Structure 1
Amino acid sequence: MSSRINTILILGAAGGIGEVTARRFHSMGKKVIVTGREQNKERLEHVAKELEGLEYRIALNNIVRDFPQLDTVFVNAGIQHHYDIFQNPPPNLAQQAIQELTTNLMAPILVAQAFASHLLSLARQGIKTNIFLTSSSLAYFPVPFYPTYCPSKAGVASFCKILRWQLEATGVKGMNVIEVAPPYVDTPLNVHHRVHTDALQGGPEKAVQPMTLEEYIDSFFEILEDRKEDGSIRDEIGVGFGGQGQKVWKQGYENLLRGSGMTN
């Protein structure tokens, strides 16, 4: 992997999966730049002070200017709201839904657009480049608790596939688009409503329990090292239910394509 990832920008690294991913890449000797929202500035400052050489930004302005050899962008930011449209909907439902869709779907699309030409240009020069976009196992296994989160992550999964197909049409071989699909992981993402969603599943004894953050990160990096035959990173990195969902979708889609005569 050292030949494919050298300078990496990680969005959404002020906690949870993003922060631990940044720490792991830093421990491997990579140049790491992290970003987060303004309210998380103190946390980003703390991480940057703790990890020598790691840098943080609140905004993405001038990232390419400051780091012209940036070869990898990892979009990991996300938020999650729990609500019921029919029973006791929150008074700010529209605001919540717009915020969730903006953060989880629109932001990754805009980030990909912002860095696409830079990464493609480096790839044309023979420098291996990558963009990681984080979807979720809930992109493939929607649940009733998250009526906006699930479709927002399904949108990211779809966007990844489209971006990859458009990249293939350029003929450039040195750039990868990777969809990352985590399972339910023990992070602060759902801390405000975990008790409620557990109750909806019959209580914590019956509710689906999260994978530990450490187990997830170890599995992610293990799959990351499992390369294609040409040495490039795999198109999908799915752990647990995330990987199962990606596999079922891919098999079903390919069967449909073959049935339609669009592929052999």
Structure 2
Amino acid sequence: MALHDGKVAVVTGAARGIGAAVARELAARGMRLVLLGRELESLRKVANSLPGTSCCIEADVTDEASIQGSARSVAERLGPVSVVVANAGIAAAGSFATCDAALWNRVIEVNLIGSAVTARVFLPQLLQTRGYLLQVASTAAFGSAPMMSAYCASKAGVESFAQALRTEMEPEGVGVGIAYLHWTGTDMIDELEEHAVLRELRSRQPAPARRVHSAARVATLLVRGIERRAPTVYAPPWLRMTQPLRPVFPYLVARAARRSFARMSQDELHAPAGVLGAGGHADWDVHRPAAPTRPATPPQD
């Protein structure tokens, strides 16, 4: 797929990390970029670093009316999109029992429902251009990690969604790819390392599997996949070899977790759950339910 002729690409979650890095790679190949996310000032900083034409749209991927308006604006200003990278996502760390129900639900809403909204809204334009949608998933879909239940469930969900969508769209000439990412150097990973249980679980992975890959390197691999209209993209590439082993991953993860849990204190195991990364905090600060107010104390006679 030629990316050097002024075609239009939309990247969600483009304010930082993988989304910003993918935007830079696509812009370097001559695409006109639409950066979509929650943090307008951060989006503008990314846009100012890009060559060529780009625009920023502040929008919540779970708000379908807002994304519909964004899609109309893109079509009017730049023309129909040829590439959509559904990258927006948040994560929460901590046990299901201690995780605020609204936060757990919000992770599912952003990562899974937000991806479906993005696809639904931009599909008419992708049909027009016979374009390509890349859904960013994760190895979290391979073997669900404890203390990350919402994130793992959402990434397994987007994988299944994208697989179904790929088959539906193939006769229409629209390509759908799934990107499987492992440890990537973003602020989400930085905060994950501060969580004692997740840090311990990660330490039990084989050395090659613990390696953190830069967002720039991951973005290069993703854009190569976009150029090939690849059905699957692996970052790092060796993840492809692990696909046949997926049936045993849940067992291996559970076994490692039991060993880790046995070494940890109750305080560590029951630490309060919380959102990870600056992007997650920005979203949760908007959607966190307001604390209930206490009724005023009636005056005493």
Smaller-chain TM-score range?
Answer: 0.7 to 0.9
CA displacement at 1:67 relative to structure 2 = 2.9
Point out where structure 1 has 5 or more consecutive residues left out of the alignment. Answer: 124-128, 228-232, 251-264
CA displacement at 1:244 relative to structure 2 = 4.0
SS of 1:133 mapped into structure 2: strand
User: Is the counterpart of residue 81 in structure 1 residue 92 in structure 2?
Assistant: yes
CA displacement at 1:49 relative to structure 2 = 2.4
What is the rounded CA distance, in whole Å, between the counterparts of 1:245 and 1:200 in structure 2? 19
The corresponding residue for 1:2 is 2
Match of 2:140 among 112, 127, 138: 138
SS of 1:65 mapped into structure 2: helix
The corresponding residue for 2:251 is none
Q: TM-score, normalised by structure 2?
A: 0.68
What does residue range 161-176 of structure 1 map to in structure 2 within 5 Å?
161-168=163-170, 171-172=171-172, 174-176=173-175
The corresponding residue for 1:157 is 159
What is the rounded CA distance, in whole Å, between the counterparts of 1:204 and 1:242 in structure 2? 14
What is the rounded CA distance, in whole Å, between the counterparts of 2:28 and 2:9 in structure 1? 13
User: Is the counterpart of residue 116 in structure 1 residue 127 in structure 2?
Assistant: no
Deviation digits for residues 168-215 of structure 1 (CA, Å, limit 9, x no counterpart) = 3xx32x310111111111111233232222145559998934222233
The corresponding residue for 1:260 is none
Q: TM-score, normalised by structure 1?
A: 0.77
The corresponding residue for 1:69 is 80
SS of 1:81 mapped into structure 2: strand
The alpha-carbon distance between structure 1 residues 167 and 221, as it changes in their structure 2 partners (threshold 3 A), is closer
Point out where structure 2 has 5 or more consecutive residues left out of the alignment. Answer: 60-66, 248-301
The corresponding residue for 2:232 is 236
Deviation digits for residues 31-84 of structure 1 (CA, Å, limit 9, x no counterpart) = 1111110xx211111222232422111133123333323111111011111111
- Contact 1:141 1:245 (8 Å CA) reproduced: no
What is the rounded CA distance, in whole Å, between the counterparts of 2:203 and 2:24 in structure 1? 36
SS of 2:44 mapped into structure 1: helix
CA displacement at 1:223 relative to structure 2 = 4.4
The alpha-carbon distance between structure 1 residues 35 and 46, as it changes in their structure 2 partners (threshold 3 A), is same
The alpha-carbon distance between structure 1 residues 246 and 77, as it changes in their structure 2 partners (threshold 3 A), is farther
The alpha-carbon distance between structure 1 residues 249 and 71, as it changes in their structure 2 partners (threshold 3 A), is farther
- Contact 2:8 2:79 (8 Å CA) reproduced: no
What is the rounded CA distance, in whole Å, between the counterparts of 1:205 and 1:122 in structure 2? 43
**Aligned structure 1 segments of 4 or more residues deviating by more than 6 angstroms:** 203-207
Which structure has more RCO (C-alpha within 8 Å, separation ≥ 6)?
A: 2
- Contact 1:238 1:246 (8 Å CA) reproduced: no
Aligned length: 230
Percent pairwise identity: 23
CA displacement at 1:247 relative to structure 2 = 5.8
Q: What amino acid does structure 1 have at the position aligned with 2:58? A: I
The corresponding residue for 2:271 is none
What is the rounded CA distance, in whole Å, between the counterparts of 1:149 and 1:121 in structure 2? 33
Answer with 1 or 2: which has the greater Rg: 2
Which is further off, 69-78 or 207-216?
207-216
The corresponding residue for 2:221 is 219
SS of 1:195 mapped into structure 2: coil
SS of 1:144 mapped into structure 2: coil
CA displacement at 1:103 relative to structure 2 = 0.6
- Contact 2:4 2:31 (8 Å CA) reproduced: no
What does residue range 15-34 of structure 1 map to in structure 2 within 5 Å?
15-34=16-35
